[in-house]
Structure 1
Amino acid sequence: MVSQFRQETHEFVPLKEEYEGKKAELGKTEAEIQEMIQKRRLKIEEIKHSVDLSKEAADREKAEGVQVFTALMESVERSLNELIETIEEKQRTTEKQAEDFIKELEQEISELKKRSSEVEKLSHSEDHLHLLLNFPSLKAAPPTKDWTEVSVCPSYVWTVMRAVTQLEEKLSEQINKLLDAEMKKVQQYAVDVTLDPDTAHPDLILSDDGKQVQRKIVTDSTERCSHCPSVLGKQSLSSGRSYFEVLVNTETNWDLGVVRESINRKRQITLSPKNGYWTICLTDRKYKANDDPSVCLSVGGFLMRVGVFVDYEQGLVSFYDLYPAALIYSFTGCSFTEKLYPFFSLGPSDDGNDDNHLTICHSY
């Protein structure tokens, strides 16, 4: 039997060369690990800093809250004291009126008793002429007051209701002052937002200054939103606080707010925070917040000018009605991990008018 042997060749690398190669790889690996460690240390410092900022904000808000509620409680206490004083004054007036009525009634009773005594005495008289002469004057009842409709039963319900209404007006005044102060706070973070033509839907056209969007026809772009007539702002919001205002059309269906950079711009998608949209809208003359689930909004009349405020670190997106100053809705507890962009979308006009638009107001 003949055995066949296959000769295999092996490539040999000098030990020192292999050592140096592996050492270099380990050095690279070590550098990568150190870089990862450094990034995580920086993240720890970032989180700690965020906690410090949050604590400062919480302390500040608590102090302001204590101040506001102290003023409100003092206002309520003053209103309560005024109400009690009003009721007590009214009760004193009622008691005085009752005393006067009682005195008058007792006076009439006294006079009636006197007349009763005279009538009884005359009725027992045997003097015929005397009875006939005095009969006309004694037959008629003495002049007295008609007490049928007289009462002393005051109602304090309207007094309380009036006091509550006045208190409500005072509280409303305080709330308006707070909202005005809040608006001044958020407006200091105003950013100059312009529309990005590269993201505009083909049915939209932008003004030359990039501040107004209307439903028209424009050319296509690879970055363009094609699933709905929408457009993004050029400026990204990726840290700190930002604020911008938009004039909205009361006859137009629209969506307004902010979106994350990675939204799908090419297909129909539900506008909601889980899909990267933090928006409110006007649809069929009804206002809604596109939350999970959507929330119907109660606003006074029609929105004309809407303020949008973003606090990136706090995960907050708030919408304000500027006429009068009022908070419309807030998305809270959001977790932002990428850039946000202002978002504007136009639907069909309720009155069939093609001249519907959204206009970004100039910064403060």
Structure 2
Amino acid sequence: MTYSLYKTMCVCICVRVRHGGDYWSKCGNNVGAGGKRRPVEDGQEAGPSPSHALGWARPTKIPKTTRVSEVPKSRVCPIHGRLLEIYCCDDDQCICPLCALVEHKAHNNLLAKEGRKRKQEQLQDIKKESKQRIKMREQEQKDLRENIKRVKEGGRAAEEHCEGVLSGLIDSLQRHYSTVRELILAHETAAVAQAESSLCSMEKDMAALKRRDAELGQLSQTDDDIHFLQRLPSLSNLPEPRYLSSVSTDPHLPFEAIRSAVSEFGNRLEAFAEEEISTVSQTVAGNGGSQFPDHRVIPEQLPVISAAQTPEPTTRTEFLQYACELTLDPNTAHKDLSLSEDGRMVRWDAKKQKEPVQPHSERFNYRRQVLCKKGLEAERCYWEVEVVGNKAEIALAYWGIDRKSVSKRSAFGASDQSWSLDRSKGYSVCHNSEGVALCATPSQCRLGVYLQFKEGTITFYEVSDKMELLYRTKKFTFTEPLYPGFWLGEESCITLCNLRHERF
């Protein structure tokens, strides 16, 4: 017990209290000369110290003029009702002087101020440790942000690389498909030429037989016996039939081998792709957590988000998540349309009207229309076009849309094979010859198209700083991939926007 604490408690009670072998019967008059406390002799009764002028502190009582409610309960001893002025180091709690003489008598007790000094050193240690922890966490946050940045950059680079590889693969398949298509066309042309040659020979034989039959009929009616006898021998022998090339009675038979071979190739390619993609996925899964050894996320803690739970995009940045790369198919372009070398721009070209165009089975013969190479069937697809000119149509169509007929069924939106947005002085949409005029008038040259294939809807937007909704179709059941297409009026031009670098 320190001297200051002893000084506080030395005259705190007026009952007999044993302290170091000496006794006091009551407070006071046990002060010797020189102002020092002296013990009371045995049997001697101590008197009151005059006015307690020595200055030694007594336990602080709550003044009678102070309401109990004005003193915080946390500052008052719940047992003795006195203010807490002592700190018990052993029990780590604040106590009153009476507690220090009774319950905590044998403990290491200090005045509150001295206890504060001792705890102040502990506080400095805690603050130092806290600052070190904060500094460590700040460094961890910095490292984690750098890791996130590297992951994003790596993801973009990987996506671009994979897109380049797969685009090259698609181009390669497209070239092989062109080879097969040319093979089919060559086989078809040769077979048709052979059959037409045989047909021509048969027609000549038929003409000769009909002439002979007519002569026989005339000969049977003649009255000139000499002419009859002279002419009959030359008509008795039938003419030798011309050589006819063998033509299969089943027109589909020559192509069955090609169909079977291509189907087998497709099945094997699909099986190979599934196996290799599975290998890629397993490789990624095996290495996915190595970059964050100290910050792994437990998969079970992540919510499973299905496509149906994915929120609908509202801003252009959100739409760009579903951006797709499109190019125009020159084989489908009408003869009056001119395409750029990269296949992203198509325009009406008056000069091409006088130029001969190589016929193609996929070309639109009577409508200034063109389709894209890629059919879309992903759950969500988005693309943008820029329109220059007074009249144009933005459309989606099945590959089997009529391309050779003069009738309106070959126009976009005129059958159940296509959907179109007409842009002229105003906007209108059409499907299966059912049109709807829109209230909006063109104010932007850039238009956005958002396809939700599984949901069965197509949405058209005007694109600026914000997405201006033009029209959303009702729900359809799309049965096959949809090909973006365009119709162009005179002096019009349409460009497919490159959204590849805008996604990030």
Structure number with larger C-alpha Rg? 2
TM-score range, shorter chain: 0.3 to 0.5
Give the TM-score of the pair, scaled to structure 2. 0.34
